[in-house]
Amino acid sequence: MLTNYLKIAWRVLLRRKFFTFISLFGISLTLVVLLAATAMLDAVFAPRAPETRAARTLGIYQLAMHGPQVSWSGTVGYAFLDRTLRGLPHVERCALFTVQQTALSYPGGRKVSSYLKHADGEFWRILDFDFLEGGPYTSADEAAANPVAVINETTRRRYFGGGPALGKPFEIDGQRFRVVGVVRDVPIVRIVPFADVWVPISTARDSNYRHATTGNFMAILLARSRADFPAIKSEYQARMARMELPDPKLYSRFEGGADTQFEALARFIFGDEGSTTHAPQLAGLLLLGMVLFMLVPTLNLVNINLSRILDRASEIGVRKAFGASSRTLTGQFLVENLVLTLVGGAIALALAAPLLAALNRSGLIPYAQFGLNLRVFAYGMAIAVFFALLSGVYPAWKMSRLQPAAALGGRS
């Protein structure tokens, strides 16, 4: 029966080529935007190098302080992280690092702006960077404040013309370092690993960061397993509650949490409420946005499908007169709409790939690596099927309600 449905669907689509073209245009345009958005979200949140252990990783990305009349929120200080995270149970490794900051250099008299990040030795043991030369600096380098650095391939090209950089000295932000490793570029959308140059935290010009409750630091925690997340979050909340506030006259409590990156984004959007997670609300908001974006093309496709039904009233009347059930006709129309939508989805996939490649080449997003993979393809097909059902259920129901006598007379 399914084979017959598919044959009929193909013939129906070829019968009214203009309607089919308009339908495919609307479907493809809608799905190509949704596919591009899905690919971007995948590039931000999905486990991929160097964040291959994202499924076991929590982060401390922000901190807030609240009082009766004033509130503050921002990134965290080294001292706060050092006191709350060291020795956390169920944590395999803990790494501290700064938010990347712009740093200037003048190789050969040229002005070069780079993103500089200070990170400890554990940073390289949690994240899996792809090293083109050498390797990472270590916790021993951090302890000794050795002036060593890891650079990305773009920095190697800017400083050394793309030639070997291992062991060579270079200057950045007025300090001199020696290259111990070169890694592939990491997109800026991966906020934890992204930078052009990474150096030990202890090489910072000023050591006052060691005593700061607030600052420009973040941290990542590698759990032994995902099942340990609740215990880690609970212990972090307990330790945070015991921390001394920098100004008890202004602030009465700390707020924050150990979050996945998606939970951290939800916390940023919906506010910091301790251990409460707003991830389900954010997921629901994204789903609602997708449905609303599809609403207008869905209504257009519904109208076109209803026109198709009216055009085929006599055919439907004959089939019902010969015993075709409403269920059979509904199934046939849903298959027709699914075929149409999947063809539009295939066109959208073909258009999304060069669109994402052009965005990568544009340089608007540094080192962007947006692209289609099996995960994005699966999401795209799921969106296409959802779109097919959303736009096909009502016309299919309308078709099944046509009365044989009225349909044979060309009336709906």
* Res 199: pLDDT: 98
- Quick check: is 229 in a domain? yes
Task: Read off the pLDDT of residues 225-266 as tens digits, 9 standing for 90 and up.
Answer: 999 999 999 999 999 999 999 999 999 999 999 999 999 988
User: Which helix or strand (DSSP H or E) is residue 176 part of?
Assistant: strand 175-183
Task: Read off the pLDDT of residues 69-109 as tens digits, 9 standing for 90 and up.
Answer: 899 999 999 999 999 999 999 999 999 999 999 999 998 88
Same domain, 239 and 119: yes
- Quick check: is 152 in a domain? yes
Helix, coil or strand: residue 24: helix
Contacts with 16 (C-beta within 8 Å, 6 or more apart), sequence order = 308, 311
Checking if the pLDDT of 330 tops 70, the result is yes
Task: Read off the pLDDT of residues 49-58 as tens digits, 9 standing for 90 and up.
Answer: 999 999 999 9
Same domain, 25 and 101: no
Q: Kindly indicate the confidence band of residue 303, based on its pLDDT and cuts at 50, 70 and 90.
A: confident
Same domain, 146 and 38: no
The count of structural domains within the chain is: 2
pTM of the entire structure? 0.85
Same domain, 31 and 67: no
Average pLDDT over residues 126-138: 98
Q: How many CA atoms lie within 13 A of 173 on its CB side?
A: 19
Same domain, 71 and 98: yes
* Res 119: pLDDT: 98
* Res 309: pLDDT: 66
Its domain, for residue 239, covers 62-258
- Quick check: is 267 in a domain? no
- State residue 151 phi and psi, 5-degree precision: -125, 160
Percent over 90 (pLDDT), the chain: 55
Question: To 10 degrees, what angle do helices 78-85 and 229-242 make?
Answer: 120
Q: Kindly indicate the confidence band of residue 302, based on its pLDDT and cuts at 50, 70 and 90.
A: confident
- Quick check: is 345 in a domain? yes
Contacts with 173 (C-beta within 8 Å, 6 or more apart), sequence order = 103, 104, 105, 116
Checking if the pLDDT of 337 tops 70, the result is yes
Same domain, 8 and 93: no
Average pLDDT over residues 156-182: 95
Same domain, 43 and 66: no
* Res 52: pLDDT: 95
Percent over 70 (pLDDT), the chain: 85
Same domain, 219 and 249: yes
* Res 297: pLDDT: 78
- Quick check: is 19 in a domain? yes
- Quick check: is 57 in a domain? no
End-of-domain residue from the set 243, 258, 273 = 258
- Quick check: is 273 in a domain? no
15 vs 162, more confident: 162
- Quick check: is 52 in a domain? no
Same domain, 40 and 86: no
Same domain, 322 and 377: yes
Whether 172 and 203 have beta carbons less than 8 Å apart is answered as no
Same domain, 120 and 245: yes
Same domain, 200 and 83: yes
* Res 222: pLDDT: 98
Checking if the pLDDT of 397 tops 90, the result is no
